[in-house]
C-alpha cells in the first residue's frame, strides 16, 4: 500500500502534551500540498509468534537506522490498536520532498503516510467505512507525532477538545469545512530554508520542558482564546487580524522555548531579519503577508494567492539572500493525502 501525505503548518500552535500524547491545548493548521512524504509498505505474513512488530526501513532508497527507534516506539504503542501487525513482516520505504528535521514537520507527513498505509492494510482485512478509516489514521498518527494527526485531511484542521467545535477530540483531528472564508482558498506558504541542519532540541524535549515552564498555564489559556479568535477570523476573512494572530502565536512558541529551563533558541539571526522585513513590507504595502515558525529557524511566509506576484518578487529580492544557498520551497494549502 502506498500513500503520499503532506506536512502541515500550525496557525495556533500545539506546544505541551500529556503522557498519553494528548495536547495541553487545541491547535489549528493548514495542510500543505508539496511538502510531503511518500511511503509504501509491503506486508508479508510470518508464522513466528512475535511480541514486537517486525519491520525493515528504507529511507530515500537506503536502509535507515537513525529513524528506527522512533518507528519501533511507534509500533510498540499502536500494536494494541492494530494487533494484526504482529503477524506480518513490514518493509517500509519512504521518500521526502523536503529536508527532514529542519523545522518543516517531516514527522507529520511521515507518520501520517505510514498510518494511512497501515489503515489501508486494515481495510483489506476487515470492512471499515471511510469515516472510521480516516479517524483511526489520525488517531494512530497522533501516537507517532502529535502534529501528524492534522495531516490526514486537507484544508484547515483542528485537533483538541473544544466545546465550540462539534466532534473535536484530543485523540484525532477534524477538518474544519464550514465557516472558512473563500479568502483562504489556495492560501500560499513559502518556506524559507534558513537552516537545513537537524534541530538542536527536538520537539519531544520541547514539549517535555513545558511541564515546568513558568508561563505554561498562561500559555494554555491564551491558546484557547486564540482558537476562538482564529475561528472568528477564518469565518470573517479579516486578513490583517489573521496576520497579527498568526505572528503572535509563532513568537509565543519561541518565547516558550527561551523561557524553558534549560532555555534554548532555535531562531537564527537571519530568522529575525526576515521577520522584520516581512512586517515592514506588510506595513508599507498593506498586502496581508505574514510569517509563522515551527520548532526551527525556517520561516513560513503566508499570503493569499492573489498577491503572489508582488510577494514572490519581494521574497526573491529581499529574503532569499538570507536563506541557505538562497533556497526556499513554494507551497500552498492542499487537499490532503492521496493513495497512490
Residues making contact with ligand PMV (CB under 6 A): 10, 13-15, 27, 105, 107, 145-147, 203, 207, 253, 294-295
> In terms of CB distance, is 128 or 205 closer to ligand PMV?
205
Q: CA-to-CA distance for 103 and 296, rounded, in angstroms?
A: 4
Q: Is 59 in a helix, a strand, or coil?
A: strand
Question: For the chain, what is the radius of gyration of the CA atoms?
Answer: 20
Nearer to ligand PMV, 249 or 314 (CB): 249
Nearest-angstrom CA–CA distance, 54 and 73: 12
CB of 263 to ligand PMV, least distance (A): 16
Q: Closer to ligand PMV at the Cβ: 109 or 281?
A: 109
Nearest distance from C-beta of residue 8 to ligand PMV, angstroms: 7
How distant, in Å, are the alpha carbons of 139, 224, 279 from that of 319? 38, 33, 12
Q: Choose between 136 and 207: whose C-beta lies nearer to ligand PMV.
A: 207
Query: Between residues 13 and 324, which has the closer beta carbon with respect to ligand PMV?
Result: 13
Q: How far is the CB of 110 from ligand PMV (least distance, A)?
A: 11
Pairing of β 188-192 and β 299-303: antiparallel
Smallest separation (angstroms) from ligand PMV to the CB of 280: 26
As measured in angstroms, the least distance from the Cβ of 150 to ligand PMV is 7
Residue nearer to ligand PMV on the CB measure, 199 or 287: 199
C-alpha cell at 204: 519531544
- Report the alpha-carbon distance of residue 207 to residue 214 in Å, rounded: 14
DSSP 8-state assignment for residue 28: E
Distance, CA of 324 to CA of 271 (rounded, Å)? 11
Note if the bond before 262 is cis, omega within 30 degrees.
Answer: yes
Q: Least CB distance from residue 167 to ligand PMV, whole Å? A: 20
Distance CA 40, CA 90 (A): 10
75 grid coordinates: 509500533
Q: Cβ closer to ligand PMV: 40 or 101? A: 101
Q: Which three-class secondary structure state does DSSP give residue 127? A: coil
The CB-of-270 to ligand PMV minimum distance in angstroms stands at 19
CA distance 201 to 182: 38
Amino acid at each position: 500500500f502506498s500513500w503520499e501525505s503532506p506536512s502541515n503548518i500550525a496557525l495556533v500552535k500545539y506546544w505541551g502534551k500529556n503522557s498519553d500524547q494528548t495536547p495541553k491545548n487545541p491547535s489549528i493548521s493548514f495542510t500543505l500540498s508539496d511538502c510531503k512524504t511518500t511511503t509504501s509498505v509491503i506486508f508479508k505474513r510470518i508464522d513466528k509468534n512475535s511480541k514486537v512488530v517486525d519491520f525493515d526501513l528504507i529511507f530515500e532508497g537506503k536502509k535507515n537506522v537513525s529513524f528506527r527507534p522512533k518507528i519501533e516506539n511507534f509500533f510498540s504503542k499502536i500494536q494494541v490498536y492494530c494487533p494484526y501487525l504482529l503477524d506480518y513482516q513490514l518493509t517500509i520505504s519512504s521518500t521526502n520532498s523536503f529536508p527532514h528535521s529542519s523545522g518543516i514537520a517531516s514527522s507529520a507527513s511521515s507518520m501520517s503516510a505510514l498510518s494511512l498505509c497501515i489503515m489501508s492494510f486494515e481495510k483489506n482485512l476487515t470492512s471499515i467505512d471511510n469515516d472510521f478509516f480516516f479517524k483511526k489514521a489520525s488517531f494512530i498518527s497522533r501516537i507517532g507525532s502529535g502534529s501528524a494527526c492534522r495531516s490526514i485531511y486537507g484544508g484547515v484542521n483542528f485537533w483538541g477538545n473544544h466545546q465550540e467545535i462539534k466532534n473535536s477530540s484530543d485523540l484525532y483531528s477534524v477538518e474544519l469545512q464550514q465557516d472558512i472564508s473563500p479568502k483562504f482558498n489556495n492560501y500560499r506558504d513559502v518556506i524559507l530554508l534558513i537552516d537545513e541542519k537537524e534541530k538542536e532540541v527536538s520537539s519531544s524535549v520541547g514539549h517535555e520542558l513545558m511541564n515546568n515552564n513558568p508561563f505554561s498555564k498562561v500559555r494554555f489559556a491564551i491558546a484557547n482564546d486564540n482558537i476562538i479568535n482564529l475561528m472568528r477570523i477564518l469565518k470573517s476573512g479579516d486578513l490583517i487580524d489573521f496576520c497579527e494572530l498568526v505572528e503572535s502565536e509563532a513568537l509565543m512558541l519561541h518565547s516558550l522555548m527561551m523561557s524553558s529551563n534549560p532555555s534554548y533558541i532555535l531562531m537564527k539571526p537571519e530568522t529575525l531579519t526576515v521577520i522584520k522585513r516581512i512586517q515592514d513590507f506588510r506595513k508599507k504595502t498593506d498586502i496581508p503577508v505574514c510569517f509563522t515558525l515551527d520548532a526551527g529557524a525556517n520561516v513560513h511566509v503566508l499570503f493569499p494567492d492573489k498577491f503572489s506576484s508582488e510577494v514572490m518578487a519581494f521574497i526573491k529580492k529581499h529574503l532569499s539572500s538570507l536563506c541557505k544557498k538562497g533556497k526556499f520551497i513554494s507551497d500552498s494549502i492542499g487537499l490532503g493525502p492521496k493513495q497512490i
